[in-house]
Amino acid sequence: MVQAYILIQTDVGKASAVAEFIAEMPGVLQAEDVTGPYDVVVRAQAETVDDLGRMVVAKVQQVDGITRTLTCPIVHL
């Protein structure tokens, strides 16, 4: 199982709606609207890195109001 944080920038005023919508997606563990350079932070999981990438590109990035994402896989050193 691969987990990652997905940092999301949204259009002005869209962070709350984006976080609520993404929180309902399969594989999403948590979605919070935050302040700072990113508007929403998501913790997600998938079986493989490829599955995670497909989820981000095919599902998350297609949500109305999202302008940019940055995916940060979690590593255990």
Give how many domains the chain has, as a whole number: 1
The pLDDT score that the predictor gives to residue 9 is 98
What's the pLDDT at 70? 97
Confidence category of residue 31, pLDDT binned at 50, 70, 90: very high
Q: How far apart are CA 21 and CA 51, in angstroms?
A: 20
Considering the entire predicted model, what is its pTM?
0.94
For residue 19, give the H/E element and its range.
Answer: helix 15-23
Q: What is the pLDDT of residues 54-63, one digit of tens each?
A: 999 999 999 9
User: Tell me, what CATH number does 66's domain have?
Assistant: 3.30.70.920
Q: Calculate the dihedral angle through the C-alpha atoms of 63, 65, 66, 67, rounding to the nearest 10 degrees.
A: 140
Range of the domain at 30: 2-73
pLDDT in tens, 67-76: 999 999 999 8
Residue type, 56: V
